[in-house]
C-alpha cells in the first residue's frame, strides 16, 4: 500500500473468523488499518482494486472464496454515495468481523457477538492463536557467559541434544541466543554472534523433531535477525525493542515474521545502573516506554498483528520491581490499551527463569537451584495474563502452565455460563 500512495499509521489485530454469507469455504482472516493518502475516494477505490488484482483476486461468486478483499470503511468525516462506492461502508454494523478490528483502531471494546472469532498471528505458514493455551519457549544459549548455562551448549552436538530434550519435554518454541544479555555482559560483534548462531540454527531447523515447532532467535542486531530468518528462524526476540540497532524496525518490516519487543533501559552493560532503576510506577512506566518503541515499529511497517510484548523481567529492574511486574501484568495491558487497543491484546511473553531476583528472595545463589522459584513466578505470570513463558526447565514449568491453563479455562467457562 505504501508504494501506492497509502501511508499506514495504525493496525488492528488480525482475527480468524468463520466465513460469512457463503459458508462452504475456508475460514477468513480479517483486520483493519488506518492510513493517510492524497488519493480521492474513487482514486483510492481504484488503487485498492488494482492491489486486489495484483494479489490474484478475480471476479467470482459474491462473498465466495477470494485471496483478498479490501474495503473502504471511512474516508475521514466525508460521506460518499455513488453507483460504485458508499462511505461509510453500509454493512459495517452487521459484521462483527469488521467491527472487532475497527474497534481496535477506534480504541473501544466491541459489544457485538464475537463468538468464533480469534485473534491470531501469522507465523511459519500457520496461525498462532494464543487464547487457547499458554506456549512454553525453551531457552538455548550458545554463549560462553550466560548466567545460567553459559558454555554448556557451544558445540552443535550439545545444542542439538538440548533442543531434542526440550522438545521431548513439551516445548512449543525454542529461543536461540548467541549473545549474553545478563547484567554487565560485554557486547560482541555481529560477526561473532553470527559465527556462534548460524551453525547451531542450521542444525536445529533440520532436525525432524522440530517439525511443527517455532524457532526464535534472541538478538538485537538487525543483520543477525535478517540472516537468522533466511536460515529458517520463525521469530525474532529483541531485548532492546529496537533501541540498540537503528535499522532493526526497517529490517523487521521486510522480514514478515513475528517480532518480540522487550522493555529495557540502556543495554545489558548499563541496565542495572542506578539511573535505569528509578521508577515512580514501574508498570505504568514500562507500558509507556515499551509502547513508544512499539509505536515506532508500527510506523516503520511492522503491523500490530506481528508484534509480541515482553515487560522485561530482570532487565533494568530491581527485585521489588520484578515482583510488581509479575502481579501487575493486567495493569500493563490496561495502560497500553489507553494508547492502542490492538497492542494491548498482543501476545505477552515473560522470562523470569532462574533470574537473580528469585535467588535473592529464596536464598538460592546458584542459578540452577532456582527452578522451583521459576515455577512459582511462571504460575503468577500465566494467571496474570502471560501467553508465552521463556524457561530453561521445560518439563517442570510445562506442568505449572497446564495447571494454570486449566484454572483459566474453568474460570472462563463459568463466566460464560453465568451470562
pLDDT (tens digit per residue) in 229-249? 999 999 999 999 999 999 999
* Per-chain mean pLDDT for the chain: 92
Report pLDDT digits (tens) over 192-229: 999 999 999 999 999 999 999 999 999 999 999 999 99
Give residues with Cβ within 8 angstroms of 153, minimum separation 6. Answer: 140, 141, 142, 159, 162, 200
What pLDDT, on the 0 to 100 scale, is given for residue 24? Answer: 74
Give yes or no for residue 111 having a pLDDT over 80. no
Instruction: Judge whether 335 and 284 are in contact, CB under 8 Å.
Output: yes
What pLDDT, on the 0 to 100 scale, is given for residue 60? Answer: 64
Instruction: Assess whether 390 carries a catalytic annotation.
Output: yes
Give residues with Cβ within 8 angstroms of 2, minimum separation 6. Answer: 8, 301
Instruction: Judge whether 294 and 11 are in contact, CB under 8 Å.
Output: no
The SS3 assignment for 226 reads helix
What pLDDT, on the 0 to 100 scale, is given for residue 18? Answer: 82
Q: How confident is residue 51, by pLDDT bands cut at 50, 70 and 90? A: very high
Give yes or no for residue 25 having a pLDDT over 90. no
Alpha helices in 211-328 (DSSP H): 222-230, 248-255, 282-299, 319-327
Give yes or no for residue 325 having a pLDDT over 60. yes
Q: What is the pTM of this model?
A: 0.92
Give yes or no for residue 163 having a pLDDT over 90. yes
> Which range, of 59-63, 143-147, 231-235, 406-410, averages the lowest pLDDT?
59-63
What pLDDT, on the 0 to 100 scale, is given for residue 83? Answer: 92
Mean pLDDT of 312-320: 97
Helix (H) or strand (E) holding 400: helix 394-418
> Which range, of 38-47, 98-107, 322-331, averages the lowest pLDDT?
98-107
Which entry of 10, 119, 306, 390 is annotated as an active-site residue? 390
Give yes or no for residue 274 having a pLDDT over 60. yes
DSSP string, 103-153: HHHHTS---S--TT-EEEEEETTEEE-TTSS-EEEEEEE--S--TTTTTTT
Q: How confident is residue 19, by pLDDT bands cut at 50, 70 and 90? A: confident
Instruction: Assess whether 213 carries a catalytic annotation.
Output: no
Which entry of 196, 265, 355, 370 is annotated as an active-site residue? 355
Q: How many Å apart are CA 226 and CA 66, to the nearest integer?
A: 31
Q: How confident is residue 146, by pLDDT bands cut at 50, 70 and 90? A: low
* Crossing angle of helices 282-299 and 319-327, rounded to 10°: 70
Q: Which long-range contacts (CB under 8 A, 24 or more apart) does 49-58 make?
A: 50/4, 51/1, 51/4
What pLDDT, on the 0 to 100 scale, is given for residue 186? Answer: 83
Q: Tell me, what DSSP letter sits at residue 310?
A: E
Taking each continuous run of H as one helix and of E as one strand, the counts in the chain are 13, 16
What pLDDT, on the 0 to 100 scale, is given for residue 27? Answer: 85
Give yes or no for residue 151 having a pLDDT over 70. no
If one counts every other C-beta atom within 10 angstroms of the C-beta of residue 77, the result is 5
**Domains in the chain: ranges and CATH:** 2-115 (3.30.70.560), 132-418 (3.20.20.20)
The rounded percent of the chain whose pLDDT value lies above 70 is 94
Q: How confident is residue 290, by pLDDT bands cut at 50, 70 and 90? A: very high
Helix, strand, coil content of the chain in percent (nearest 5): 40, 15, 40
φ, ψ of residue 185 in degrees (nearest 5): -70, 140
> Which range, of 17-31, 41-55, 192-206, averages the lowest pLDDT?
17-31
Amino acid at each position: 500500500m505504501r508504494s501506492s500512495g497509502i501511508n499506514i499509521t495504525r493496525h488492528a489485530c488480525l482475527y480468524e473468523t468463520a466465513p460469512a454469507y457463503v459458508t462452504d469455504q475456508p475460514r477468513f482472516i480479517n483486520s483493519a488499518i488506518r492510513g493517510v493518502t492524497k488519493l480521492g475516494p474513487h482514486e483510492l477505490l481504484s488503487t485498492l482494486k488494482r492491489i486486489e488484482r495484483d494479489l490474484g483476486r478475480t471476479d467470482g461468486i459474491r462473498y465466495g472464496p477470494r485471496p483478498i478483499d479490501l474495503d473502504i470503511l471511512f474516508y475521514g468525516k466525508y460521506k460518499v454515495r455513488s453507483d460504485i462506492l458508499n462511505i461509510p461502508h453500509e454493512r459495517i454494523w452487521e459484521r462483527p468481523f469488521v467491527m472487532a478490528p475497527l474497534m481496535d483502531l477506534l480504541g473501544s471494546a466491541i459489544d457485538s457477538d464475537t463468538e468464533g472469532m480469534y485473534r491470531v498471528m501469522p507465523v511459519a505458514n500457520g496461525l498462532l492463536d494464543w487464547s487457547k493455551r499458554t506456549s512454553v519457549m525453551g531457552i538455548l544459549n550458545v554463549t560462553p557467559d550466560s548466567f545460567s548455562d553459559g558454555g554448556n551448549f557451544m558445540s552443535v552436538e550439545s545444542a542439538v541434544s538440548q533442543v531434542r530434550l526440550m522438545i521431548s519435554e513439551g516445548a512449543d518454541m525454542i529461543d536461540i541466543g548467541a549473545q549474553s544479555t545478563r547484567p554487565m555482559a560485554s557486547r560482541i560483534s555481529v560477526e561473532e554472534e553470527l559465527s556462534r548462531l548460524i551453525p547451531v540454527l542450521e542444525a536445529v531447523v533440520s532436525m525432524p523433531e522440530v517439525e511443527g515447532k517455532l524457532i526464535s532467535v534472541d538478538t538485537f542486531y538487525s543483520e543477525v535477525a535478517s540472516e537468522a530468518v533466511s536460515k529458517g528462524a520463525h521469530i525474532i526476540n529483541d531485548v532492546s525493542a529496537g533501541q540498540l540497532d537503528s535499522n532493526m524496525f526497517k529490517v523487521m518490516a521486510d522480514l514478515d515474521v513475528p517480532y518480540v519487543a522487550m522493555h529495557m533501559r540502556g543495554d545489558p552493560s548499563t541496565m542495572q545502573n542506578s539511573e535505569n532503576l528509578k521508577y515512580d510506577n514501574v508498570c505504568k512506566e514500562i507500558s509507556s516506554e515499551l509502547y513508544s518503541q512499539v509505536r515506532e515499529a508500527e510506523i516503520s511497517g511492522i503491523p500490530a498483528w506481528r508484534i509480541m510484548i515482553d515487560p522485561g523481567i530482570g532487565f533494568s529492574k530491581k527485585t521489588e520491581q520484578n515482583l510488581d511486574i509479575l502481579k501487575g501484568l493486567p495493569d500493563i495491558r490496561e495502560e497500553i490499551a489507553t494508547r492502542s487497543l490492538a497492542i494491548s491484546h498482543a501476545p505477552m511473553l515473560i522470562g523470569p527463569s532462574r533470574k537473580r531476583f528469585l535467588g535473592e528472595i529464596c536464598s538460592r545463589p546458584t542459578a540452577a537451584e532456582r527452578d522451583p522459584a521459576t515455577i512459582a513466578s511462571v504460575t503468577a505470570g500465566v494467571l496474570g495474563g502471560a501467553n508465552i513463558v521463556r524457561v530453561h526447565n521445560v518439563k517442570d514449568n510445562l506442568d505449572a502452565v497446564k495447571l494454570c491453563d486449566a484454572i483459566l479455562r474453568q474460570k472462563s467457562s463459568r463466566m460464560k455460563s453465568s451470562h
